Amino acid sequence: MNAFKNARHLFRVAAVFVVGGLAFVGVRALLVPKSFGQYGHYRGNAIAEIAARPVNYAGHQACEDCHTDVLEKKKSGKHVHVNCEACHGPQAKHVDDPGSVQPVKFDTAVLCVRCHEANIAKPKGFPQVASADHSNGLACDTCHQPHSPAITAGETTGGTK
């Protein structure tokens, strides 16, 4: 059995590997987050962290719970499917504290043309105006009420369409 006469150095190498392997497993267990691999090759808790971000746009349901009068007004007009925050901007803070946080009233001369300024790339059926010719810089709400924009008979007609 000469082959195993000097086997002790083999055991030493084996011991180094075993200790190294155990250290690797131990350190890895400490460093890899618990939820890693819960759903796949990533940290499972990341999903909940991303989902926990606060909301800025409250959603039209929250607006309509209180502002039923505006909802009624919108139903008679073409803007019925335009959500509140499409024009009024993010209002989650206003929903949380309606008393102290008030939406800013905006300039309709700036707001309306975002959608209604004439542009060749817009769908042909969409109502568009060249604002400079249409109203001479007058604010749109001089004639149109934004929640129900059609000009009814008897009201002032400032625009040509």
**Interaction site with another protein (CB under 8 A):** 36, 38-44, 46-57, 59-60, 79, 81-83, 85-87, 89-90, 114-115, 117, 119-123, 126
As measured in angstroms, the least distance from the Cβ of 98 to another protein is 19
As measured in angstroms, the least distance from the Cβ of 49 to another protein is 8
- Alpha-carbon span 4 to 7, nearest angstrom: 5
As measured in angstroms, the least distance from the Cβ of 160 to another protein is 20
Residue 20 vs 127, nearer CB to another protein: 127
Residue 51 vs 153, nearer CB to another protein: 51
Residue 12 vs 122, nearer CB to another protein: 122
Residue 85 vs 135, nearer CB to another protein: 85
As measured in angstroms, the least distance from the Cβ of 110 to another protein is 11
Residue 1 vs 48, nearer CB to another protein: 48
- Alpha-carbon span 5 to 3, nearest angstrom: 6
Please give the angle made by the CA atoms of 149, 86 and 57, to the nearest 5 degrees.
145
Q: What is the DSSP string of 106-142?
A: --HHHHHHHHHB--TTS-TTS--B-HHHHHTT--GGG
Neighbouring C-alpha atoms within 13 Å toward the C-beta of 36: 8
Could you tell me where the beta strands, DSSP code E, fall in the chain? none
Count CB neighbours of 149 within 10 A: 17
Residues 6+ apart with CB under 8 A from 6: none
As measured in angstroms, the least distance from the Cβ of 121 to another protein is 4
